[in-house]
Amino acid sequence: MSKQSKTLSRILRHEPELVGLTLMPGGWARIDDLLRGMKRIGQPLNVAELRKIVQDNDKRRFTISDDGTLIRAAQGHSVDVDLGLEAIAPPEILYHGTARSILDSIFSEGLNPGRRQQVHLSPDPETAEKVGQRPGKPTVIRIETGSMHRDGYAFYRADNAVWLTDFVPAQYLGF
């Protein structure tokens, strides 16, 4: 991931104030304001470069509005953001990639969002393994999301097809 992509992720997910932004409802920011802020911190971008970063991002972290004037992070916020996603029924099984070193904690306490607003789940084991590589040697956990949903837990699908939920109790976890 490029330096500019990492900076965009930091701004749109965690620190909009870094460039003087206040996120609008849905986590949106005006592209013009973002580009001015990027210039102020010494990482100038133009609209074409921004679109290329969005298009080339392997995890599709960013979404540009249909009218091309707004941008947001698809998910992964640590700042308080309501993405305006509708709760929908998930597939029967989703996956979560994580480091092996924290499995004992996960299987005793469940999956918590940590510093983020929600737990991120992947639609397939391959994607989950890729996500889990970041913190160390990856392990893929299988989650009985269909059962969770029937038991009253809400699920949301972000713009980039990542599934979101507030918490996953340990009883729904397996390999």
pLDDT > 90? residue 24: yes
Given CATH 3.20.170.30, say whether it is the number of domain 94-174.
yes
- Report the interhelical angle of 31-40 vs 47-56 (nearest 10°): 100
Q: Write a three-state SS string for 93-156.
A: CEEEEEEHHHHHHHHHHCECCCCCCCEEEECCHHHHHHHHCCCCCEEEEEECHHHHHHCCCCCE
Residue 88 is inside which H or E element, if any? none
Specify the range with the lowest mean pLDDT, choosing from 7-11, 24-28, 92-96, 99-103.
Answer: 99-103
Same fold, 3-73 and 94-174: no
Q: How would residue 1 be classed by pLDDT, with cut points 50, 70 and 90?
A: low
User: pLDDT tens, 70-97?
Assistant: 999 999 999 999 999 999 999 999 999 9
Q: What is the pLDDT of residue 131?
A: 82
What six digits make up the tokens of 102?
Answer: 């924290």
Protein fold of 3-73: Arc Repressor Mutant, subunit A (1.10.10)
pLDDT > 60? residue 103: yes
Q: What is the pLDDT of residue 57?
A: 86
pLDDT > 90? residue 132: no
What six digits make up the tokens of 107?
Answer: 């299987």
Q: Rounded to an integer, what distance in angstroms lies between the CA atom of residue 25 and that of residue 137?
A: 37
Q: How would residue 164 be classed by pLDDT, with cut points 50, 70 and 90?
A: very high
Q: What is the pTM of this model?
A: 0.86
Residue ranges per domain, the chain?
Answer: 3-73, 94-174
